């Protein structure tokens, strides 16, 4: 069973807004005292927050669907619906949030950092808020908007000061266990470490975190082994520590070739990083320490003596250590502590995050009409934030609410845009994105206003009050004349056939 997860796909849904209420106040001696329907509550947001006690994304691996609570419905007597509660999801420090297309939405560093992953929907207006001089007692209210739905990818990049890198079984886990209180799994076979391990090291006045990255092998930067999955955990470290196995049992390996291979994989991976945008030193230019591990063994000590001079030519600290006997660990701790302090001092001074004001776009509420094929015919789709939001808020079971929508669209200029696009009465019009659009037959005579209102909840424009034209009246008259002449002809034929007698004849007088 997995205990550490550093990449998950999370589906978040904001809470839906509550519906507004359509209510009329009734008091003694005032049977119709005006509308008193209140607004619905706003839906809750889904928020990601960096939490110090969270170190893995495991909980979202098991529960990839997260949604906030919706807002309450509005009620009569101006009782507004309660707002939905925000859902705060704890994530580890160093979590990167990206969209499905790979766009980085947030790089969450620092305890308490927040990111709104999905916003809740707005509550619908009650009929008290919709009342006007023309529409004094609306018989409808607006519906609450659904919450935002998003699919996000959360990727954890460990925030550590020092990263231990090297071949599998080089002794990295033993080293971090000896230097800190971390207790990673240790065994005598490759790839014992399957997940990064973090430990805190104290050396005098120095205090820093150290990460044990799973073993790297040739081709790790292209996906071989476990390297590609965990190389991202060293992106934010200040110091790199190459742990070299001086007592390897493999005859084709030696510390120098191991170091060359690991540096090549790191350089290949670093080439794909955009390190200039975040102010950090490029990965291959960061302070480096070479650790010759397992020098407590005779073979390890002999190998260290052979390669020490060649490694010293790289102008980097070279230390002999042993995780078993703790040889050289104190010197290593102080060396790393000094390098970390120097790297921290070289970082630019943190600046407070500026307050970003995002004004509404000048044409943010504009609409436009595009033509497309729908059900084998040419249709006209109305696009725009306002029309789509108004459609979501409309109760299509209420004629007055539909008439209110028609008035809003007409004031926005949608009627003129449909005329300009070539729409004619009876054309198919769609409002809304994709298959969720509302489809109706356009009738340009649906313009008007509150003067067309009838009883509450109705709209006279939806009743068929069309007057027949002169040609229609003539056609109806011709149809009635033809029907009457047909009846007379049928009666004459029956008389001649003797089905009924003529009263004026002799047989009729007998």
Known binding-site residues for GTP equal 166-173, 191-195, 212-215, 293-296, 322-324
Q: What is the DSSP string of 43-69?
A: PPPEEEEE-TT----HHHHH--EEEPP
CA distance 165 to 216: 7
Spatial CB neighbours of 474, under 8 Å, sequence gap ≥ 6:
none
Residue ranges for the known binding site are 166-173, 191-195, 212-215, 293-296, 322-324
With CA atoms as reference, report the closest residue to 158 among 101, 98, 215, 238: 238
- Residue 83's CB is within 10 A of a number of other CB atoms, namely 20
Angle at 76 between CA 73 and CA 82, to 5 degrees: 30
Residue spans of alpha helices (H) in 376-469: 385-393, 399-412, 414-421
Tokens at 143, concatenated: 């519906």
Distances (CA, A) of 168 to 193, 227, 331: 8, 10, 24
Eight-class DSSP state of 169: T
Eight-class DSSP state of 500: S
Tokens at 180, concatenated: 């800190």
CA distance 241 to 317: 10
| SS3 at position 198 | strand
Q: Residues 388, 433: contact at Cβ < 8 Å?
A: yes
Q: CB burial class (10 A; 0-12, 13-18, 19+) of residue 421?
A: middle
309 φ, ψ to 5°?
A: -65, -40
What is the three-state SS of 310-336? HHHCCCCCEEECECCCCECHHHHHHHH
Residue spans of alpha helices (H) in 108-251: 127-130, 172-179, 227-230
Beta bridge partners of 47: 88, 116
Q: CB burial class (10 A; 0-12, 13-18, 19+) of residue 151?
A: exposed
CA distance 407 to 368: 17
Tell me which H or E stretch contains 382.
strand 377-383
217 φ, ψ to 5°?
A: -135, 165
Place of tokens 């845009």: 417
Q: Residues 240, 286: contact at Cβ < 8 Å?
A: yes
Tokens at 324, concatenated: 């078993």
Q: Residues 74, 123: contact at Cβ < 8 Å?
A: yes
Residue ranges for the known binding site for Mg(2+) are 173, 193
CA distance 120 to 353: 25
């Amino acid at each position: 069973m997995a205990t550490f997860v550093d990449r998950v796909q999370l589906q978040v849904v904001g809470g839906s807004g509550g519906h507004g209420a359509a209510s009329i106040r009734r008091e003694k001696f005032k049977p119709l005292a005006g509308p008193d329907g209140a607004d619905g509550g706003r839906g809750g947001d889904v928020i990601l927050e960096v939490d110090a006690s969270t170190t893995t994304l495991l909980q979202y691996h098991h529960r990839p669907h997260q949604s906030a609570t919706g807002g309450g419905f509005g009620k009569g007597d101006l009782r507004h619906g309660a707002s939905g509660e925000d859902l705060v999801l704890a994530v580890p420090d160093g979590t990167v949030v990206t969209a499905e297309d790979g766009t980085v939405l947030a790089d969450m560093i620092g305890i308490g950092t927040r990111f709104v992953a999905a916003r809740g929907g707005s509550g619908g207006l009650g009929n008290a808020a919709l009342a006007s001089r023309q529409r004094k007692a609306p018989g409808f209210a607006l519906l609450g908007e659904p919450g935002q739905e998003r699919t996000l990818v959360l990727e954890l990049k460990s925030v550590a000061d020092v990263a231990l890198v090297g071949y599998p079984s080089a002794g990295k886990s033993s080293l971090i266990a000896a230097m800190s209180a971390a207790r990673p799994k240790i065994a005598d076979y490759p790839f014992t470490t399957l997940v990064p391990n973090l430990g805190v090291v104290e050396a005098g006045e120095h205090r820093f975190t150290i990460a044990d990255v799973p073993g790297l092998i040739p081709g790790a930067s292209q996906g071989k082994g476990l390297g590609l999955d965990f190389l991202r955990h060293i992106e934010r470290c200040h110091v790199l520590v190459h742990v070299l196995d001086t007592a390897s049992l493999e005859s084709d390996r030696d510390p120098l070739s191991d170091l060359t291979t690991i540096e090549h994989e790191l350089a290949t991976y670093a080439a794909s990083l955009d390190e200039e945008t975040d102010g950090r030193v490029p990965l291959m230019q960061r302070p480096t320490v070479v650790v010759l591990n397992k020098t407590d063994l005779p073979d390890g000590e002999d190998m260290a003596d052979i390669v020490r001079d060649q490694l010293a030519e790289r102008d980097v600290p070279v230390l002999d250590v042993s995780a078993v006997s703790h040889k050289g660990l104190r010197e290593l701790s102080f060396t790393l502590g000094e390098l970390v302090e120097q790297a921290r001092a070289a970082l630019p001074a943190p600046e407070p995050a500026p307050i970003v004001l995002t004004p509404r776009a000048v044409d943010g509420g504009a609409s436009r009409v595009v033509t497309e094929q729908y059900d084998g015919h040419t249709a006209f789709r109305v696009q725009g934030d306002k029309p789509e939001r108004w459609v979501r808020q409309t109760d299509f079971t209420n004629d007055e609410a539909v008439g209110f929508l028609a008035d809003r669209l007409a004031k926005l200029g949608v009627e003129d845009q449909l005329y300009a696009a070539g729409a004619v009465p009876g054309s198919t019009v769609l409002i809304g994105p994709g298959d969720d659009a509302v489809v109706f037959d356009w009738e340009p005579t649906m313009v008007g206003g509150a003067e067309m209102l009838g009883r509450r909840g109705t709209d006279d424009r939806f009743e068929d009050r069309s007057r027949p034209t002169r040609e229609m009246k003539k056609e109806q008259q011709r149809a009635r004349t033809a029907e009457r002449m047909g009846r007379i002809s049928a009666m004459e034929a029956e008389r001649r056939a003797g089905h009924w007698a003529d009263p004026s004849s002799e047989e009729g007088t007998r």
